[in-house]
């Protein structure tokens, strides 16, 4: 009989999963594995994430309260409403869209400092080596990257620096090889000089020069002033266990509200249609609260943890009816990202998200570094009455939110997904199916899904459901008043979910979404 797995890694691209597992097998920590995979997936999925984007960490050590890292960027000192005079909204592409600092690399650094407290570190070169090679040898274009290339071609192809993501001036085709040699050199430089070089060394100088040349308000001073922050996660107690997510500026509170409300109403349901309907109605309550209160942490008008109090949740529950859908929409939030999870041999677990916001972010590519810059700052408003009003040093709203739960039965689970508005909903779907309805984690992720509101790159606000789900719950949902449209099954629109579960005996299992190019790898520490 073979030994049970005690390490696991899942990512939406199989190459990143393999990199993460390799580090775990070498005896590296969950954090070290995640940094290695984060560098790898920045290469393999360049449309969704990268060094020019943001990151959020949830780190759990057995027997201790989880720790969060907010590695999201703030608006540049020069990103003032006056800078955008004449604009009705912040542009989504180009130099003016590149207005917030990239925090991801600072997050890697902050996380590795925590890892050093656990055990002697592996060399940074060991963590980045595979990503360096992947960028140098070239990546195979996936369907996801092909779709993103076609979608963004008219916006971005004319920029000469974006040509690294084209083949002979044309959109990418699945199966072709794209070499990212400049990015490979940048990763090698970081491996030699250390991650702080991104903010304080030669890389910072190169990036600030290239951003200014592209018309961005970001300057060298903004690099020097940036640091990732250790934060206390939000949490909520349910009948199934204690669930954790990140505070503002993320929508983590929405993910927690959905599951806390479902915990209160799930007993009303007796069918799959009831489960889907109740989760959708819980989502509406969560999004109303999110849109009212989530902004830069300094601006939140209330303590977000208070939204998870029994009194507030009980009041929200009153608005949820088993037989009737609440009218929608409220204002939706877009977004695009990657989520990854892992567990090392000591039971330390990480839930991690890394993002450029939209596909290829702002579209601004630094020619000296090969780094694509995010456009997260487009979440800011130029309306002085908005709680997202642009101000230097502030953080925009983030759809990103990595999730973690300590279950009442002793199991622990790291889980998450990409997909804008879809993130809290997909988290809720896989959680409810696995935890409340006892479906295996791979089935809980692969089964037909739904999405209320807008996801990455989409403008509609109705309820979308995959055809295989519609076939058995669609009629019941429409009868309750849901404005529903059917989409193809196994649709990338529904996100790239994943999960790692650690059992009470120390064994682990994991799953990756068939809607992505990912894979979950399990193994034993050598």
CA–CA dist 371, 366 (Å, integer): 5
What pLDDT sits at residue 453?
Answer: 78
- pLDDT interval class at 462 (50, 70, 90): confident
Q: Give 526 or 49, the one with higher predicted confidence.
A: 49
- Write out the H or E segment, with its range, that includes residue 422: helix 422-431
Residue 322 within a domain = yes
Average pLDDT value for the chain: 94
Query: Domain with 421 in it: what CATH number?
Result: 3.60.20.40
Edge-to-edge strand list for the sheet holding 450-452: 450-452, 463-466, 484-487
Instruction: Given the residues 337, 369, 399, 426, select the one marked as catalytic.
Output: 337
* Domain, as residue range, for 252: 231-335+401-523
What pLDDT sits at residue 165?
Answer: 96
- In this structure, the strands spanning 450-452 and 349-355 are unpaired
Nearest to 15 by CA among 125, 131, 128: 131
- Write out the H or E segment, with its range, that includes residue 245: strand 241-245
What pLDDT sits at residue 1?
Answer: 32
283 classed as catalytic: no
CA–CA dist 218, 33 (Å, integer): 31
Average pLDDT over residues 474-489: 94
DSSP 81: G
- pLDDT interval class at 458 (50, 70, 90): low
Residue 222 within a domain = no
- Write out the H or E segment, with its range, that includes residue 59: strand 54-60
Residue 272 within a domain = yes
Percent residues over pLDDT 90 in the chain: 91
Task: List, for residues 219-238, the tens digit of each pLDDT value.
Answer: 999 999 999 999 999 999 99
Q: Is the pLDDT of residue 308 over 50?
A: yes
Residue 63 within a domain = no
Residue 275 within a domain = yes
Q: Cβ(475)–Cβ(343) under 8 Å?
A: no
What pLDDT sits at residue 146?
Answer: 96
What pLDDT sits at residue 331?
Answer: 53
Average pLDDT over residues 517-524: 93
Tokens 């997904």: give the residue.
417
Task: List, for residues 387-435, the tens digit of each pLDDT value.
Answer: 899 999 999 998 888 999 999 999 999 999 987 778 999 999 999 999 9
CA–CA dist 401, 398 (Å, integer): 8
What pLDDT sits at residue 456?
Answer: 46
Nearest to 110 by CA among 11, 185, 199: 199
Q: How many residues does the chain have?
A: 526
Q: How many CB atoms lie within 10 A of CB 469?
A: 22
What pLDDT sits at residue 249?
Answer: 93
Task: List, for residues 26-37, the tens digit of each pLDDT value.
Answer: 999 999 999 999
What pLDDT sits at residue 2?
Answer: 52
Q: Is the pLDDT of residue 25 over 80?
A: yes
What pLDDT sits at residue 337?
Answer: 83
Nearest to 107 by CA among 196, 209, 4: 196
Task: List, for residues 174-231, the tens digit of each pLDDT value.
Answer: 999 999 999 999 999 999 999 999 999 999 999 999 999 999 999 999 999 999 999 9
- Note if the bond before 124 is cis, omega within 30 degrees: no
Q: Give 289 or 457, the one with higher predicted confidence.
A: 289
Residue 281 within a domain = yes
CA distances from 337 to 154, 179, 522 (A): 21, 22, 24
Q: How many CB atoms lie within 10 A of CB 82?
A: 7
CA distances from 388 to 244, 286, 302, 377, 397 (A): 25, 18, 15, 10, 7
Average pLDDT over residues 146-171: 95
Question: How many domains does the structure of the chain reveal?
Answer: 1
What pLDDT sits at residue 443?
Answer: 97
Task: List, for residues 39-94, the tens digit of each pLDDT value.
Answer: 999 999 999 999 999 999 999 999 999 999 999 999 999 999 999 999 999 999 99
Q: How many CB atoms lie within 10 A of CB 331?
A: 9
pTM of the model as a whole: 0.96
Residue 510 within a domain = yes
Residue 134 within a domain = no
Strand partners, 244: 235, 404
Task: List, for residues 235-250, the tens digit of each pLDDT value.
Answer: 999 999 999 999 999 9
Task: List, for residues 256-284, the tens digit of each pLDDT value.
Answer: 999 999 999 999 999 999 999 999 999 99
CA–CA dist 435, 432 (Å, integer): 5
Q: Cβ(44)–Cβ(222) under 8 Å?
A: no
CA–CA dist 372, 75 (Å, integer): 17
What pLDDT sits at residue 329?
Answer: 63
Burial of 18 (0-12, 13-18, 19+ CB in 10 A): middle
Coil, strand or helix at 353: strand
Q: Cα–chain-centroid distance for residue 337?
A: 5
């Amino acid at each position: 009989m073979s030994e049970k797995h005690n390490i696991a890694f899942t990512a939406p691209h199989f190459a990143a999963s393999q990199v993460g597992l390799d580090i775990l097998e070498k005896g590296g920590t969950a954090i070290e594995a995640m940094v290695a995979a984060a560098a790898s997936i920045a290469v393999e999925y360049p449309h969704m994430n990268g060094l020019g984007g943001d990151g959020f960490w949830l780190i759990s050590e057995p027997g201790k309260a989880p720790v969060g890292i907010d590695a999201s960027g703030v608006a540049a000192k020069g990103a003032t409403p006056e800078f955008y005079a004449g604009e009705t909204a912040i542009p989504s592409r180009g130099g003016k869209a590149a207005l917030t600092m990239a925090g991801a690399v600072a997050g890697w650094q902050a996380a590795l400092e925590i890892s050093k407290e656990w055990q002697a570190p592996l060399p940074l070169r060991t963590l980045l080596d595979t990503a360096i090679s992947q960028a140098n040898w070239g990546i195979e274009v996936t369907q996801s990257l092909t779709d993103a290339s076609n979608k963004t071609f008219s916006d971005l192809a004319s920029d000469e620096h974006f040509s690294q993501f084209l083949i002979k001036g044309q959109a990418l085709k699945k199966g072709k090889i794209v070499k990212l040699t400049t990015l490979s050199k940048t990763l090698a430089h970081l491996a030699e000089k250390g991650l702080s070089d991104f903010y304080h060394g030669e890389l910072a100088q190169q990036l600030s020069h290239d951003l200014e040349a592209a018309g961005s308000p970001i300057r060298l001073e903004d690099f020097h002033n940036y640091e990732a922050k250790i934060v206390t996660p939000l949490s909520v107690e349910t009948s199934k266990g204690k669930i954790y997510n990140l505070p503002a500026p993320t929508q983590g509170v929405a993910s927690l509200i959905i599951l806390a409300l479902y915990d209160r109403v799930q007993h009303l349901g007796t069918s799959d249609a009831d489960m889907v309907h109740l989760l959708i109605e819980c989502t509406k309550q969560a999004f109303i609260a999110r849109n009212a209160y989530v902004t830069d942490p300094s601006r939140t008008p209330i303590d977000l943890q208070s939204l998870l109090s029994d009194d507030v949740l009980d009041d929200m529950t009153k608005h949820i009816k088993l037989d009737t859908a609440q009218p929608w929409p409220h204002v939706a939030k877009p977004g695009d990202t990657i989520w990854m999870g892992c567990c090392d041999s000591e039971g330390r677990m990480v839930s991690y998200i890394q993002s450029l916001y939209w596909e290829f972010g702002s579209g601004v590519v630094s020619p000296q570094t090969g780094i694509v810059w995010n456009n997260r700052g487009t979440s800011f408003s130029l309306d002085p009455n908005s709680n997202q009003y642009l101000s230097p040093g502030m953080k925009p709203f983030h759809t990103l939110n990595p999730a973690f739960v300590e279950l009442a039965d002793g199991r622990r689970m790291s889980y998450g997904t990409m997909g804008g508005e879809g993130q809290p909903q997909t988290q809720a779907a896989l959680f409810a199916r696995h935890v409340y309805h006892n479906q295996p984690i791979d089935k809980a992720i692969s089964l037909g899904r739904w999405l209320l509101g807008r996801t990455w790159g989409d403008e509609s606000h109705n309820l979308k459901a995959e055809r295989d789900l519609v076939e058995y719950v669609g009629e019941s949902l429409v009868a309750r008043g849901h404005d529903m449209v059917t989409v193809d099954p196994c649709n990338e629109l529904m996100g790239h979910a994943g999960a790692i579960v650690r059992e009470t005996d120390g064994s682990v299992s994991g799953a990756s979404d068939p809607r992505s190019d990912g894979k979950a790898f399990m193994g034993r520490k050598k």
